[in-house]
Structure formats: C-alpha cells, structure tokens
Structure 1
C-alpha cells in the first residue's frame, strides 16, 4: 500500500477514535455531574435540616420525615424533589446480560419513590392535614404511601451499591460500595425494628428511642451511605477516562 494511502487511512482512524473519545467524555461528564449532584444533595439533606432545626430552636426531629411538619418543610421537600429529578434524568449504562434491570429504570423507580416520600407526609404530631395530597388520600393512608416509597428508594439505592457500582470497580472501591450497601440495609432494618420498638416496646425502650432521636440517626446513616456511594462512583468514572488512551501511538 502506498505511503500516502497508509497515512490517509491512519488519519481517518485517528479522527474516528477522537470522535468516539469525545462522545465518551461527554457521557462520563454528564454521569459525573449527576452523580456529584446526587451525592452532595444526599449529604446536605440531614445537615441542613439539623441546622434549620437549631436556628428555629426546635432541635432535631424524631425522623427526617418529621421535618415536613416543621418550618423546615421547604428544605425537606425541595431537596427530596431535587434528588428525585436527578435520579429520573440519570441514564446510566445499558443493561448487561447478567443484570435484572437497567440503570435508568432502577434510577427512575428510585426517583419516583423519592417524589412519593416528599408528597405523602408521615404521621402528623397534631393530626392536622398538612398538604393537598394528604387531604386527598386521607391522614391514615398518607403514612402508608410515605413508608412504602421510602422502602422502595432505599432498596433501589442498596441495589445500586451492591450490584451496579461494585461490578466495574477496583477492589478498594468495591469495598466502599458494598460497605455503603450494607449500611443502607442496616438503616432499613434499624428503621423497621426501631419503629416497632418505639410504638410497641417497653416504655423505657420507647423513651430511649425518642430521647436520643435513634430513628433520625439511623436514617442519616442510610442517606449518607447513599451519598458517599454516588460521590465515589462519579470520581471513579472520571479517573477511568483520564487514563484512557487518546490517540493511536503508531501507524499500522
């Protein structure tokens, strides 16, 4: 093959490779920004609620959801809707043969469930109707929808950590993802048994859970585990792209 033809073929291969890399960079950048947004929103949710409670001189509520019934409602609902929106627009990677659900479907289900957590209030301490949705479905049914949506959200986030993020990572990050997944599972179990003990347990146990805001802190563990996993995953994708080759080194 003449040298001129080889050079033209090589230039075409470089151009095609650069186009593929540009497309990959754009996708990773989009993933990174969404994952960072999700991670920081998850981190800020409990932190801002605690600060708001201190400024309002109401302190920490028994649970994160209980802030809906305080002057911090706007912070709770606003951040939850932001998390839900970012989850719904998240594309993720295509479903692999050994996976039961694609990233975008799992994230969409999680995002819709977050909307449900924000829209359907839990039990009101005063028994008063606090939202249009609560008035529509009834004060008694609203907490049922609220807790069901919360369970779906935590399940989806645990699934991401245990079965999605940990598949394509190195060993140290795989430990972080699985640790976050187990923390989310612990949070769900703690919420379930803690709620039962609070309502049906001995008076001293119930008082301990209320006095030390046990439910709130168990929820914080789950939310911050979700936050850490998304922050680490976003960083990992950027590092993978940084070490990827840019153009072929030699002709032929």
Structure 2
C-alpha cells in the first residue's frame, strides 16, 4: 500500500473516531454537568431540551461538529442508495445541523427563542423531531447496511461472536428500538427522564459503531482477530483496498 493510500485510510479512521467520540460523549457530558449547581441546569426531559439551558453551546456545538464531520466524510458510494455511504452521511450531516439549529418546542415555563429561524411557530418544533427521526434512521442504516460491507473473508481465523459486523448490526437494531421507544415512553410515561435515557443510549451505541469502524481499540493481536478477522502486528503494513 502506497504512502498516500495509507494516509487516506488513517484519515478516514481518525474521522470515524472523532464522530464516535462526539456521539458517546455528548449525553455523558450534558448529564454530568447537570449535576453541578454552577451551571444552574438540572436534568432535562430530553437531550434536545438542553438547548434551553446554560449548556446550549455544548449541545449545539457538538451536533454541529458531528454534522460537519459527516458531510466531510466522503465514502466510496454504492449503486444501491441504502448502501451508499457518501449519500447517507451527507443526509445525516444535514439532519444533525437541523437538530442543532432548530430546537424542540420548549416546556411551558420556558420562552421560545430561535437562533436560526426567529419565529414562534409550533410546527418548527415538530420539524426538529423530523430531523432527529431521519438522523437516527440514517445512523441505523449506516450501521446495518454500510458498515458491514468490506470485511475480507479469512479461512484461517474463525468468525467470532465479537466480530465487528455483529456489533454494527446490534448497534443499528438498538438505535431503531430505542428511537421507537421514545414516543412510546412519552405516551405511556414509562419512567422519569425516559426520553433522555433512551436518546442517550441511542447516541451511545451510534458512537460505539463509529469507534469500532475507526478501530479505536486498535486492530493488532487478539483484537484484530476477533473484531476484524485480521492478523495484524505493529510492524506489518495493513492492507485495506478502500476505507470501510
């Protein structure tokens, strides 16, 4: 593998890891900072409601970063739309920006203020939900249909239950289940902060999928064999025909 091709592979992996770390850390940081009285922010009904708190910049800034990273992520495409990583990540990036810049409708004791669209229309809040639904749907499609493409068959290494493709499918199915449960939890009032918990878990598994794809745990030795069916060492130049 030539120098430039190898650098492209590592650049893709760094970008995937950046997206993964942002997805995993966003709900964790928001919840942890909510505990400190300094920020004058208690736990919110959902991740989106942090827009109306002193932690708004963390919420919008992180989502905008994820959005721009996804748009910047240029995959190799695929004749099938449902497996076209370039098209899907562009859609997800635009949706992430929409979620960040067009907030959810506020609680009754809050004043509605829009930074991007300065109008107090209730349908704008529903537009936020639409962006969020499409965003998580695309996350699930990427994990199930796109991330599972590209692993080389290796007869010398048995397929492990911890294989990356199994993790991607689990993450994608989990995202679908968790997002479907959000309206159910609000309708049935399952438990306190149910929407916040479900959204946080969905963001977490989304981040995990991208971290595994970005090889955040490395790919040498046992990890390489179990996750990627590869026998890699630190001194072995890794072959990868195209970013997976």
* 2:176 is aligned with 1:185: yes
Give ranges in structure 1 of 5+ residues lacking alignment.
1-19, 198-205, 247-252
Give ranges in structure 2 of 5+ residues lacking alignment.
153-158, 220-229
In structure 2, the residue matched to 1:217 is 197
Q: Deviation at 1:46?
A: 0.5
C-alpha distance in 2 between matches for 1:101 and 1:177: 14
State the TM-score, normalized to the length of structure 2.
0.80
C-alpha distance in 1 between matches for 2:237 and 2:176: 34
Question: Displaced runs of 4+ in structure 1, greater than 3 A?
Answer: 97-101, 236-246
Decide whether aligned partners of structure 1 residues 99 and 244 sit closer, same or farther in structure 2, where only a CA change above 3 A counts: farther
For 1:71, which of 54, 58, 69 is the aligned residue? Answer: 54
State the TM-score, normalized to the length of structure 1.
0.77
In structure 1, the residue matched to 2:101 is 119
Decide whether aligned partners of structure 1 residues 75 and 245 sit closer, same or farther in structure 2, where only a CA change above 3 A counts: closer
CA contact (8 A) 1:28 1:238 kept: no
- Number of residue pairs matched by the alignment: 214
C-alpha distance in 1 between matches for 2:75 and 2:30: 30
Q: Deviation at 1:115?
A: 0.6
C-alpha distance in 2 between matches for 1:57 and 1:237: 36
C-alpha distance in 1 between matches for 2:178 and 2:197: 9
* Structure with the largest fraction of helix: 1
After the TM superposition, which of the residue ranges 174-183 and 126-135 deviates more from structure 2?
126-135
CA contact (8 A) 1:129 1:135 kept: no
After the TM superposition, which of the residue ranges 138-147 and 31-40 deviates more from structure 2?
138-147
Q: Deviations over 1:18-67 (max 9, x none)?
A: xx522321211111111010010011101110122112353321100011
In structure 2, the residue matched to 1:148 is 130
CA contact (8 A) 2:81 2:87 kept: no
C-alpha distance in 1 between matches for 2:49 and 2:82: 35
